[in-house]
């Protein structure tokens, strides 16, 4: 079989997305072209499809290791997150929330470890901390995202710091109090979002009471 007709993995799609981002940084692609090519990457089925988005970019090639057969390293988790999403907690490591063109949500009394990692492409992500069970007062969230909408909902007395977020053709907004971690929860968000959005806010009811009360 022609190697170009082999099926591609999520890891290969991610790698090509990183190459396209590098091309934007080097001035070879506009943001509009980047978005169009990322759409192709996300829909790619074979290595031929991936090569098409790189063929006219000099000096940018898929790494040799991605020419070998792909060995999946994580099994999808069935359920409301969708077939292309997964959540794992490696021993001693962070909670990893991973999705490709998926809808991911954590709500209710879910257990929050000290560190969370979000690794997403073209997904809708909601982490609702209002009823969550925290192991620590400070929760650190690292984001690595392309083309997603990420929303954090924090309890009324919580604070957040998103100063460590790099937004590339994206928006990153915090509608909650910042400053020192004096309340029950302080969320520190770092990482990179590309052509997406990140919003940290209190629940709608809290925002309405604040508005009506004039506070």
One pLDDT digit (tens) per residue for the chain, 215 residues:
666 778 888 888 888 888 888 888 788 888 888 888 888 888 888 888 888 888 888 877 665 555 443 333 333 333 344 445 555 555 557 899 999 888 999 999 999 999 999 999 889 999 999 999 999 999 999 999 999 999 999 998 899 999 999 999 899 999 999 977 777 899 999 999 999 999 999 998 654 555 555 54
* Whole-angstrom distance, CA of residue 157 vs CA of residue 183: 6
Q: Which of 84, 86, 64, 76 is nearest to 12 (CA)?
A: 64
Measured from the Cβ of residue 110, the count of other Cβ atoms closer than 10 Å reads 15
Return the axis-axis angle of helices 10-25 and 31-43, rounded to nearest 10°: 170
- The answer to whether 81 and 102 are in contact (CB under 8 A) is yes
* Whole-angstrom distance, CA of residue 202 vs CA of residue 154: 5
Give the up-direction half-sphere exposure of residue 206: CA atoms within 13 A in the CB hemisphere.
13
Question: Strand runs (DSSP E) across 70-158, as ranges?
Answer: 85-88, 95-100, 103-106, 111-112, 115-121, 124-128, 133-134, 138-146, 149-153
């Amino acid at each position: 079989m022609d190697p170009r007709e082999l099926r591609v993995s999520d890891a290969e799609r991610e790698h090509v997305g990183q190459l396209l981002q590098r091309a934007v940084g080097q001035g070879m692609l506009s943001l509009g072209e980047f978005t169009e090519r990322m759409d192709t990457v996300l829909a790619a089925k074979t290595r031929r499809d991936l090569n098409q988005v790189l063929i006219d970019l000099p000096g940018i090639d898929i790494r040799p290791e991605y020419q070998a057969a792909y060995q999946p390293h994580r099994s999808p988790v069935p359920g409301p997150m969708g077939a292309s999403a997964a959540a794992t907690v490696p021993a001693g490591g962070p909670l990893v929330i991973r999705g490709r063109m998926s809808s991911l949500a954590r709500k209710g009394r879910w257990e929050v470890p000290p560190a969370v990692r979000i690794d997403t492409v073209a997904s809708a992500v909601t982490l609702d901390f209002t009823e969550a069970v925290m192991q620590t007062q400070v929760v650190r969230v690292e984001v690595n995202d392309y083309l997603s909408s990420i929303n954090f909902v924090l309890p009324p007395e919580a604070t957040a710091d998103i100063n460590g977020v790099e937004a590339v053709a994206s928006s990153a907004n915090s509608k909650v109090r910042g400053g020192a971690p004096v309340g029950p929860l302080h969320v520190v968000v770092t990482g990179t979002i590309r052509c997406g959005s990140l919003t940290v806010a209190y629940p709608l009811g809290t925002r309405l009471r604040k508005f009506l009360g004039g506070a």
